[in-house]
């Protein structure tokens, strides 16, 4: 592996044989582990037990699983009631429906009452693919991070999703876990650090900071290699926690490099791009570019076609970083 990268990342990084799995699989595994560790953990689904990967938990703990049916508002309201009785409910549906359809119930029933419900939004981002715009939730990060008491986490791969599930099971506040449908590269390992509210520097650099949340992480690593060939050394920060944000790690990097690019598979306005823009404007103003969906809806296609169409791949990330770097020195 390139010496610039943290030694806890996958040894298959930049190999053609790098493993691919969906982040939702990590959630399914993590939910079973959370259930093993705490009998208060329960799960609820809106008729999507298989595709959202709750099925392993439901089979192992059938008396701790509730099938709500196609009723997402009921899904979170029932979960809030269970939380008020001392349980730790995990709700799972497609992100387009939860939080897309039931945001008011999440706001009023869960967040206002500070109930520790764990909301899992699966099949988020344009990588849902052929299901098209109605099912490609792009606004969920913005919707959830503005809610008081809510935490928001966007894991980059299967390992992080498993760890994130176990971490939020132990917190006392509401949480939103964002997952993807399609298989994406596994960048981290079982030994990679993952703590509540922490971002991690994956690659040291001095010219521009690349901050990523979610399954575009591998594209960011490839972009850093493209930049290195042009003499631009990028620092990569993996920031799965949108809220709370690791201000210390991010600001340290911004002050070091003097330029930043955010990368996410969501609306850049209000998502990670919005979070970092807010932080930078208050604490460390630097040239900034935002890779993400730019005020548009999704459409049908393969993950490869859609990531290319919406300019989410390594070459576009590298171009954005070059623009930010040039603005810094102009």
pLDDT, tens digit, for every residue of 74-129?
999 999 999 999 999 999 999 999 999 999 999 999 999 999 999 999 999 999 99
> C-alpha distances in angstroms, 126 versus 59, 134, 139, 229, 253?
30, 10, 11, 30, 29
For residue 2, what pLDDT is reported?
Answer: 58
- Residue 328's pLDDT band, with cuts at 50, 70 and 90, is confident
Residues 148-173: pLDDT tens digits?
999 999 999 999 999 999 999 999 99
The span from the CA of 157 to the CA of 173, in Å, is 24
The percentage of residues in the chain with a pLDDT greater than 70, rounded to a whole number, is: 99
- Residue 17's pLDDT band, with cuts at 50, 70 and 90, is confident
Taken in order of first residue, the domains within the chain and their CATH numbers are 20-185 (3.40.50.970), 200-329 (3.40.50.920)
For residue 3, what pLDDT is reported?
Answer: 57
> C-alpha distances in angstroms, 196 versus 41, 83, 154, 251?
19, 21, 12, 18
What stretches of 38-157 show up as alpha helix (H) in DSSP? 55-60, 72-84, 103-105, 140-145
The span from the CA of 28 to the CA of 65, in Å, is 13
For residue 330, what pLDDT is reported?
Answer: 65
- For 121-145, b/e burial (b = at least 16 CB within 10 A) is bbbbbbbbbeeeeebbbbbbbbbbb
What average pLDDT does range 185-206 have in this prediction? 97
Q: Is the pLDDT of residue 220 over 60?
A: yes
Tell which wins on pLDDT, 260 or 15: 260
The percentage of residues in the chain with a pLDDT greater than 90, rounded to a whole number, is: 94
User: In whole numbers, what is the pLDDT of the chain averaged over residues?
Assistant: 96
């Amino acid at each position: 592996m390139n010496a610039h990268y943290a030694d806890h990342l996958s040894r298959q990084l930049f190999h053609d044989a790098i493993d691919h799995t969906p982040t939702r699989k990590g959630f399914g595994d993590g939910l079973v582990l959370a259930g093993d560790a705490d009998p208060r953990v329960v799960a609820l689904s809106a008729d999507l037990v298989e595709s959202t990967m709750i099925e392993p938990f439901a089979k192992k703990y059938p008396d701790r699983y509730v099938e709500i049916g196609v009723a997402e508002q009921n899904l979170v309201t029932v979960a809030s009631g269970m939380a008020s009785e001392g349980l730790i409910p995990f709700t799972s549906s497609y992100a387009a429906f939860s939080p897309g359809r039931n945001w008011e119930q999440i706001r009023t029933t869960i967040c206002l009452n500070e109930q520790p419900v764990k909301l899992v939004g699966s099949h988020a981002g344009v990588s849902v693919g052929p299901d098209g715009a109605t099912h490609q939730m792009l606004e969920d990060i913005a919707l959830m991070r503005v809610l008081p008491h809510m935490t928001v986490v966007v894991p980059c791969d299967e390992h992080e999703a498993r760890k994130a599930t176990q971490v939020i099971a132990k917190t006392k506040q509401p949480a939103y876990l964002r997952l993807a449908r399609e298989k994406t590269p596994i960048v981290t390992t079982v030994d990679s650090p993952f703590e509540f509210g922490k971002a991690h520097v994956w690659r040291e650099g001095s010219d521009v900071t690349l901050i990523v949340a979610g399954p575009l992480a591998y594209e960011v690593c490839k972009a850093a290699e493209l930049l290195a060939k042009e003499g631009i050394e990028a620092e990569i920060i993996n920031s799965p926690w949108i809220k709370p944000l690791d201000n210390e790690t991010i600001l340290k990097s911004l002050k070091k490099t003097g330029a930043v690019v955010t990368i996410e598979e969501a609306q850049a306005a209000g998502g990670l791009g919005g979070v970092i823009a807010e932080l930078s404007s208050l604490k460390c103003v630097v040239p900034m570019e935002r890779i993400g969906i730019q005020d548009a809806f999704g459409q049908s296609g393969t993950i490869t076609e859609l990531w290319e169409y919406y300019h989410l791949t390594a070459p576009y990330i590298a171009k954005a970083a070059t623009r930010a770097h040039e603005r810094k020195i102009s």
